[in-house]
Structure 1
């Protein structure tokens, strides 16, 4: 065999996967393009490497199919057709009806759907409205595919008939030349396939690595954290989104099993109901550096500052969160696990379960974690253990059922429906949307007090656009202050203690850092810890509570400057409730004389906050010493100059 024949055979082999599965390759390529184009979100863009990566994916599938005998190959292709078309149709349907493509939350909701709801869904799927929506394009492609398969032999006969009966010789010759051209094509086609294949491998390799990393996460939290990375995987096809959703739900299901087991193991020895009414307010994306209470130059917390002056509200000065991602914070804040304990957070009971078992009436009012189809993986990761039907019943007696554009909707939920379920002993949890991005949507525009012009003197280094964003954030903080004050009003005449804690901090053009929201880098330096992990934290005691619980009030006042990390919050709550349980650890309760204040405060399981702060303070002290030395040197130099002049 000559070298030309060897090259020809190699090139023919390169194109063989596509030639042996031509109909499959072309139709699935068209399906991939169409499904990607019709599910581009508003203001979104098409995945830039879609065409090449789609070629690579289909080439690999076709190469695998080409290995099998012809009859087996047909059966496998039929199965793939069904899976890919159904997945694309479901993905597009979700996008049309819920504004989001397939995601873990949708799959979780499907798992909780009963037969009646499923039949309603199917009837809606085949409705006229759906057929004439973007879903219709997928169904049309599927119909064409079916027609081609059914009438394949007839189409070939028509082609032969046309070649035979055409009278025009020139046209006949051209048509008859097609088979000869086809015979010569494998080598030429092979060169083209090989070139595109090599290019697609080079351009798609990073995304394939990122996808492997995403699908290798051991926990749903790890997967979520991977998605915060800048170059995370792009799930550009419906089948990838489905696979990821299944994987995420499997990870969540594993942790749910652990949580349910831990819940059934909860033991309560006794409960004194030390605090009849405990209210926990969980804020969102609130760095203490934008709080008037903590020295911010804008009056963003007038109500909380007034309560602090009355001494009913005690501000804690050294509190950090263990994560700067809401879902991670919720897991650590609700679980009685603290960083450093053996096992995982899901191996320990959630504190609402302990409260319920002790006899408290537990109400959860959230403006973020309700089961809904259009839910990002971050919300899924933070909410799956709250929204699982069995776990929800184990934790809460009552919940709200609707999300609101603004947090005052939660007040209405409480006043109109949830307040009526109050008993003698209540734990009420408010979870606010707070200052979550987009900031300008987190407050009523007619209540705005800050404008871009308000920062011209205080932040002259910022652009006008940046000052505008900053004004939105501070207005959202001011609005949050009004919501918190309204919650306090609802309990101020009762025997109640109220705790306010946001999930994590937030950056909004701090110093010269030049960005908003959060930096999810695995490398935590001092500035990242300072702005994104330091949070406001306070405890409010009503007048009646102070009168009846003088000792606790004094403990709160005495503890205000102690170090704390919010993963230990459940142990403070258990103490305030007077719940005696093996779950409670006195060394984690900031009000206890046995509190371990020197427990390492580890951020994101990697950086020690206090070591970062100590190193920063040492550096600052050294720099200050150098400045003082320079000033002394200058003074001495001036004195010597004067002496020399006198001489």
Structure 2
């Protein structure tokens, strides 16, 4: 009978061994690397789970191959191996770059942002660690050719050990799930989140707050909030970085025009999660959904301001994003990029926002609140900077070994900081010419690790990393505003306050002379009654007691 055909049995044995190792190879990387990073915690459980998954899928593969007709069984086996290898490549890619196996956040990054940013995201992580994936593919091809299983087994184990101890991989844990199950559950979670977002657009409330808010200022005023992207205070000369990355803002500080706050953190290490709290009354303690509480735009609009949102980030991704939903509350919205399917290779530079800003300033309106959302220091740093701002090209002994080895990326990032310095100073210069009661507040949504403390570049990692947690936060105030001596004096006394940007609405209300019956003075960093509180980043307490 063909069911017991000798050639078929031999083929199944050969293919099933390849299938087994296509799963076992990455599992061993996760388990052994976790052991290297955190010791023997959970190693036995991880090994048991990994072996159990491999055996179950191995037996499933053999069974499916046996019951497949002779004419197509090789096609079935080859297809199963290709699917398994492809899934594991995605999983390995996530693990070696982000210290975690594939999850819904990876799908979010790839599918909710636009096509070009997704490409940039992927290109940025085609680095030396990608050799691990190449080694994985080479090994799969190797065992498909070699006859001696003992040799292939020894080579497999040695390869995994060499990989783990040759690369500084951040991962500590193993999901204990079959890779396709992990992919499915992660995608389902992403879809559920996306569905929730669509519902969010429907749920966004229009708050009637006019009776609660009063603008106490009787002068013409223009208030500007600039939201940076992935800006590191540790690469800013205003905060002591050895390179002069803030020459323009430094001059303003020396003239006592710029107030630089020293101890401000972000609530999360990703834009979406961070700005949900920064732009609304949602915080680490309450249970609000971000659309259930008023946003900064709601507060200013109801206080009688015309509100503006101009952005060099996407207006929506393939599904959309939370920030765009919040931005939709503004009276006037303009994006430099109209569509998620924009065919430009890379995004426009942030200076594309300046003509839009000029147009807004020319509008006849006594009260303006303007939000400028920069692309800032977003990953693929070199693409954020025009050629004339690519000043840093050298090596410096102040760098650690990781930074010296990745000097091109560090230089690109520092040049992006220099360029943001230019953009912020240009906005300030334009506001200064208006000669009105004004301020310009700049801060970043979160920080960025640039090989400062580990062999990693980026953000969004779980846990606590001061380079991602702590952010630049600075305030420029116009000459007309400075006439309020008491207010300026209080701002000057506030620069060392420990603050988290989830309380930003209260600071903005305070700075803008808006009286609000629900105002909490201890949440405004510039208020005389400000009180420091426990700060949480990624829902983990940050400040040491």
Q: What TM-score, normalized to structure 2?
A: 0.65
The partner residue of 1:207 within 155, 176, 179 is 179
**Larger relative contact order, structure 1 or 2 (CA cutoff 8 Å, min sep 6):** 2
Question: Residue 567 of structure 1 corresponds to which residue in structure 2?
Answer: 502
> Partners in 1 of 2:528 and 2:503 — Cα distance?
15
Question: Residue 445 of structure 2 corresponds to which residue in structure 1?
Answer: 503
1:590/1:102 Cα in 2 relative to 1: closer, same or farther (>3 Å)? closer
**For structure 2, which runs of at least 5 residues remain unmatched after alignment?**
5-59, 91-107, 115-175, 339-346
> Partners in 2 of 1:281 and 1:448 — Cα distance?
23
Is 1:326–1:382's contact at 8 Å kept on the other side of the alignment? Answer: no
Is 2:269–2:447's contact at 8 Å kept on the other side of the alignment? Answer: yes
Instruction: List per-residue Cα deviations over 1:346-391 (Å, max 9, x = no partner).
Output: 3211110121122101111111141254xxx8xx44434146xxxx
Question: Residue 425 of structure 1 corresponds to which residue in structure 2?
Answer: 367
> Partners in 2 of 1:381 and 1:357 — Cα distance?
24
Question: Residue 544 of structure 1 corresponds to which residue in structure 2?
Answer: 480
Q: What's the offset of the Cα at 1:205?
A: 5.2
> Partners in 2 of 1:272 and 1:321 — Cα distance?
28
Q: What's the offset of the Cα at 1:211?
A: 3.3
1:358-373, aligned counterparts within 5 Å? Answer: 358-373=303-318
Q: What's the offset of the Cα at 1:483?
A: 0.7
Is 1:502–1:536's contact at 8 Å kept on the other side of the alignment? Answer: yes
Q: What's the offset of the Cα at 1:213?
A: 3.8
Q: Please state whether the residue corresponding to 2:543 is helix, strand or coil.
A: helix
**For structure 1, which runs of at least 5 residues remain unmatched after alignment?**
5-9, 37-44, 51-99, 107-203, 218-222, 224-243, 615-647
Is 2:313–2:335's contact at 8 Å kept on the other side of the alignment? Answer: no
Q: What's the offset of the Cα at 1:266?
A: 3.9
1:517/1:268 Cα in 2 relative to 1: closer, same or farther (>3 Å)? farther
Instruction: List per-residue Cα deviations over 1:224-249 (Å, max 9, x = no partner).
Output: xxxxxxxxxxxxxxxxxxxx3xx343
Bigger Cα Rg: 1
Q: What's the offset of the Cα at 1:552?
A: 1.7
Question: Residue 416 of structure 2 corresponds to which residue in structure 1?
Answer: 476
Q: What's the offset of the Cα at 1:15?
A: 8.0
1:485/1:105 Cα in 2 relative to 1: closer, same or farther (>3 Å)? closer
Is 2:276–2:282's contact at 8 Å kept on the other side of the alignment? Answer: no
Is 1:369–1:383's contact at 8 Å kept on the other side of the alignment? Answer: no
Question: Residue 399 of structure 2 corresponds to which residue in structure 1?
Answer: 459
Q: Please state whether the residue corresponding to 2:224 is helix, strand or coil.
A: strand
Is 2:439–2:477's contact at 8 Å kept on the other side of the alignment? Answer: yes
Q: Please state whether the residue corresponding to 1:264 is helix, strand or coil.
A: coil
The partner residue of 1:347 within 272, 286, 292 is 292
Q: Please state whether the residue corresponding to 1:476 is helix, strand or coil.
A: helix
Question: Residue 56 of structure 1 corresponds to which residue in structure 2?
Answer: none
1:294/1:464 Cα in 2 relative to 1: closer, same or farther (>3 Å)? closer
Question: Residue 535 of structure 1 corresponds to which residue in structure 2?
Answer: 471
* Number of equivalences: 398
Higher helix share: 1
Q: What's the offset of the Cα at 1:426?
A: 0.5
> Partners in 2 of 1:429 and 1:410 — Cα distance?
11
Q: Please state whether the residue corresponding to 2:272 is helix, strand or coil.
A: helix
Matched, 1:255 2:227: no
> Partners in 1 of 2:408 and 2:113 — Cα distance?
34
Question: Residue 610 of structure 1 corresponds to which residue in structure 2?
Answer: 543
Q: What's the offset of the Cα at 1:449?
A: 1.8
Is 1:336–1:583's contact at 8 Å kept on the other side of the alignment? Answer: no
Q: Please state whether the residue corresponding to 2:269 is helix, strand or coil.
A: coil
CA RMSD of aligned residues (A): 3.8
